[in-house]
Every structure is written in C-alpha cells, then in structure tokens.
Amino acid sequence: MKRSFESGNALFFILIAVVMLAALSFAVMQGSRGGAESLSAEKTRLVATEILEYADVVAKAVAQTRLRGFEDTQISFENSAVGGYANANCTDEQCKIFSPSGGGVNYIAPNAEGLDQASAAATTFVNAANLYGQWFFPRRTCVRNVGIGSNDCAGNGLDDAELMIVLPWVKQEVCIKINDLLGVDNPSGSPPSVGGSTFLGEKFQGNYNPLATNLALALENTSACFYHSSLNAGPGLGYFYYKVLIAR
C-alpha cells in the first residue's frame, strides 16, 4: 500500500509540473504577441497621455523658437535618430528643435505598445510604412478651416500647409483615448474617418509643398486622432494622431 501511495504522489506532482509548464509557455507566447494585443484601459490612457505630452513639448519648443525671431521655414526637426529633416534655412543650432542649444527637446521614439505594426506592414505606400515607430513632420498637409485653409484647403491654390507633428500607425484604442483626452468627438465610439490622400511621407525641410493634401471630412481640429479609410490613397488604412504646431 505504501508503494502505491508513493506512486500516486509522484504522478500528482508530475501533473502539477506539466500544468505549470503549460501556463508558463502560454504566458511567454502572449508576451511575444504584445504588438498585436489590445492594451488594458489603464495602459491605454498612459500611452495616450505620453503621446499628447510629448507633442506638447515639441509645440512649446517651436513656439519658443519663433519668439527668438526665427521664421517657420527656418525651423529644423533634424535629429540623430531619424534622417531626412536637415533644413538648409537653419544655419544656427538655435533653430533646431532637437538641439540642446535650440529647442532643447530630446528625440524620444514613441512607445511601441501604442502602435499598430500590422497596419503599417499592410499598406502599399512604402514611404508611409517606413514612418512606423517615428514622429513625423510633414510638409504638405493642411487642416481645413485652420489658419488660412478653407473648407477644401487642398484645392484652393494657396500655400497653406500646416507645420505639424504626426504619429502614424496608432492603435485604435489609443486613438480613441487620445480624442477623449482632447475632447474630440469619436462618432459612434470610433475615431473620425478621413478619406483621400493625407500623409504621403514628405518630410519638412524648410519648405512646403503648395499642392497640399487635405485632412477633410470631420476634422477641423488643431489636434486629433483619426482613421484613414482609403485603402488606395496614402498612407493607407490605419489610425493617425496629429497636432498643428503652426497654423498657416
């Protein structure tokens, strides 16, 4: 009887070990899928707040640079992490937003937990896909009825593209929370939808493309997050946050 009892105990402990190993394997698999998983409500709010706060820091640095007497076309977003922002009009460190002698902003890559890598990988617009994990400063996007831009600011023939900061490929739940924090309406619980070309991947280097693309439809906000609903227009399907730094 004693030997039978000991055998039963051994089997019991083996079963416990198998269950614990399975649970550990599941936890590891879930962790490795973090980029595709939804965030908790608390984490979503934290990530959304981080995004808004960083954009505000950049906006304040831009405002301070203007107060030093620099024109908007002299402002440089050149940084050591992402290429393509060198501005020939900026001949002094003081007009560089990411220079200690200028705006004093540290370039910090956005939190990957708030980004949707799958949508970035799915788009056919390579320049837009390459913006994943970056802060983007476009040169040819206008927001309707902001600055001198009209209701159709892309087609009015004016040089009215805004200077703005954009975070491409945001997760849906983060996009919704951003709008909640900004007081922007999420129609039927979803971010406002925008069609047509919006961001084409052209980086600001001190000049604007007068053939601006348009943040149309429901957006007349200086800061918001929206869903780009056009599969065949840049940047493709996905959620995007923006903040106007200088309305033009």
Closest CA to 243 of 171, 188, 170, 157: 170
pLDDT of 106: 98
pLDDT of 200: 76
pLDDT of 28: 41
DSSP string, 136-194: B-BSSEEETTSTT--TTTTSS-S--PPEEEEEEEE-HHHHHHHHHHHT---GGGSPPEE
Structure tokens at 50: 């981080």
pLDDT (tens digit, 9 = 90+) per residue, 149-193?
555 565 555 567 889 999 999 999 999 999 999 999 999 999 998
Spatial separation of the C-alpha atoms in residues 95 and 101, rounded to whole Å: 9
Instruction: Say what angle helices 172-182 and 41-67 make with each other, to 10 degrees.
Output: 60
pLDDT of 199: 78
Residues whose CB is less than 8 angstroms from the CB of residue 30 and which lie 6 or more positions away in sequence, other chains included: 37
Is the confidence at residue 34, as pLDDT, over 50?
no
Structure tokens at 30: 């879930």
Per this entry, what is the length of the chain? 248
Spatial separation of the C-alpha atoms in residues 40 and 177, rounded to whole Å: 12
Using a pLDDT cut of 70, give the percent of the chain over it. Answer: 76
pLDDT of 232: 78
Is the confidence at residue 119, as pLDDT, over 70?
yes
Spatial separation of the C-alpha atoms in residues 182 and 144, rounded to whole Å: 18
pLDDT of 117: 96
Lowest model confidence (mean pLDDT) among 45-49, 141-145, 225-229: 141-145
Spatial separation of the C-alpha atoms in residues 141 and 164, rounded to whole Å: 8
Structure tokens at 184: 């922007």
pLDDT of 236: 86
Whether the Cβ atoms of residue 115 and residue 166 lie closer than 8 Å to each other = no
Spatial separation of the C-alpha atoms in residues 241 and 165, rounded to whole Å: 8
Closest CA to 60 of 22, 29, 103: 103
pLDDT (tens digit, 9 = 90+) per residue, 15-32?
555 545 555 444 444 443
- The domain spans of the chain are 40-246
Spatial separation of the C-alpha atoms in residues 228 and 106, rounded to whole Å: 29
pLDDT of 101: 97
What average pLDDT does this structure show over 199-211? 84
pLDDT of 30: 43
pLDDT (tens digit, 9 = 90+) per residue, 37-80?
678 999 999 999 999 999 999 999 999 999 999 999 999 999 99
Whether the Cβ atoms of residue 196 and residue 214 lie closer than 8 Å to each other = yes
Q: pTM to 2 decimals?
A: 0.80
Closest CA to 94 of 61, 126, 128: 61
